[in-house]
């Protein structure tokens, strides 16, 4: 069994989870953990991009059994349900974000005079899109929605915290 903190999609709340891992699988380009959630006493699916902390072992290997008929792709497919398509507005520096520009439903000069273009992009998961946007750094700004902007900021702050010199370090 393992423990980690996990951010839920519905509320954005972060909670500690204790899970008996059964499998890791990819579904529509996203990675998932399937297993038995000890806190909820039920089988659950966890999207790996929503795991907020390091994963630590809390039990002995072989301390539980994986159901012999477990098919992780079927479990993820059954629980994924309908995807809600949302719209993001991104402000993209001229000459940057070519991949984003190709996927955008519209591209227009930004109403502000900062030399950026306004891209409208459809997405279904803020965490997944945030992960894609972070490598662009300051070249791409999220105008809306707020939860997408917050997800990008969280990831950028995590990167920054790993690059700051530790106190007392020479």
Distance separating alpha carbons of residues 60 and 57, to the nearest angstrom:
8
pLDDT tens for the chain, 170 residues long, are: 999 999 887 777 899 999 999 999 988 778 999 999 999 999 999 999 999 999 999 988 888 999 988 888 888 877 655 466 789 999 999 999 999 999 999 999 988 758 899 999 998 778 889 989 999 999 999 999 988 998 899 888 888 887 766 665 55
The sheet with strand 86-93 has its strands ordered as: 106-109, 116-123, 86-93, 140-144
**Sign of the torsion formed by the C-alpha atoms of 100, 103, 105 and 109:** positive
């Amino acid at each position: 069994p393992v423990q980690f903190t996990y951010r839920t999609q519905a509320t954005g709340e972060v909670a500690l989870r204790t899970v008996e891992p059964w499998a890791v699988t990819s579904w529509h380009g996203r990675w998932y953990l399937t297993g038995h959630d000890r806190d909820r006493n039920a089988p659950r699916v966890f999207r790996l991009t929503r795991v907020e902390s390091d994963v630590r072992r809390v039990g002995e290997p072989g301390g539980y059994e994986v159901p012999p008929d477990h098919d992780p792709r079927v479990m993820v497919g059954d629980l994924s349900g309908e995807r809600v398509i949302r719209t993001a507005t991104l402000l993209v520096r001229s000459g940057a974000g070519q991949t984003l520009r190709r996927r955008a439903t519209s591209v227009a000069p930004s109403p502000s005079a900062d030399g950026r273009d306004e891209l409208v992009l459809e997405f279904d998961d803020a965490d997944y899109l945030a992960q894609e946007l972070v490598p662009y750094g300051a070249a791409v700004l999220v105008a809306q929605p707020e939860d997408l902007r917050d997800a990008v900021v969280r990831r950028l702050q995590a990167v920054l915290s790993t690059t700051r010199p530790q106190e007392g370090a020479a």
